[in-house]
A = this chain, B = another copy of it.
Amino acid sequence: MPSSASTRDQTLLSPISIPETTITRQEWVYRQLKEAILSGQFVPGRSVTLRGIAAMLDVSPTPVREALRRLVAERALEAHGNRRISVPQMTREKLADICAARVSLETLAAECALPAIDSKRLAHLWRLNEQVDEAVENRDLGAYLRRHREFHFTFYDVGRTSVLMPLIESVWLQFSPFMRLAIDHIGVDYLVDRHAEALHAVERHDIGALRFALEADVREGLGSLTEADWKSLETETD
């Protein structure tokens, strides 16, 4: 996006002044960084410098500062006392808390979404789930992370999005960098999910089964790291 020419020239193209959110540089930087974090391109522990990001994205430090503040507020990044910002490190306790929060928020979101999932949307979810499985078969970690996220967010995101979705997104931003690392470590082959089980529960309008499937999906997916996994992960990052 960063072109010296003003980015707002194209507003001339929208005749009757459609809202057409003219994107600011700050917003653009924010989205770039968020996407990078969610797709696991940021390693836990790495420190993020203002001027570094600014140079990388070819913008001035000003919009970067604001984007970083936003991400810190959403707990995607961590601000230390020394005025330095870094990608947060994961701990056993934090992971347990994240799992608990995910179960709590996402089962609630699924329950809210359930009545609004019609057959068209259900078919779409089945298609997305196929793409998740394809990514696993192709051993494409990047695609897996993207598809996996797309499946969950599409599931929950049917109206009523203003309160719950930002909370869920904040939690995802917190575990995504770690998840990339963990899957890199244990291998894509050991990935399991309960997506099909959840969709079958949707078909039966069985809220109980839906909650159960989602809870299992979270706990088996994120919370199933054995002690040995942790040990080798920790020595790896040193």
Name A's B-contacting residues (CB within 8 A): 19, 21, 24, 26, 65-66, 69-75, 81, 83, 93-94, 97-98, 100-101, 104-105, 108, 112, 160, 162-164, 166-167, 170-171, 174
Contact = CB atoms under 8 A, between A and B. Distances in A.
Q: Which of A72, A81, A98, A162 has the most CB of B within 10 A?
A: A162
Nearest to A26: B69
Given A73-B70, A162-B94, A163-B98, A81 B170 contact: no
B171 A167 contact: yes
Given A66-B66, A105-B105, A112 B94 contact: no
Copies of this chain, count: 2
A236 to B, nearest CB: 23
Contacts of A21: 81
B167 A167 contact: yes
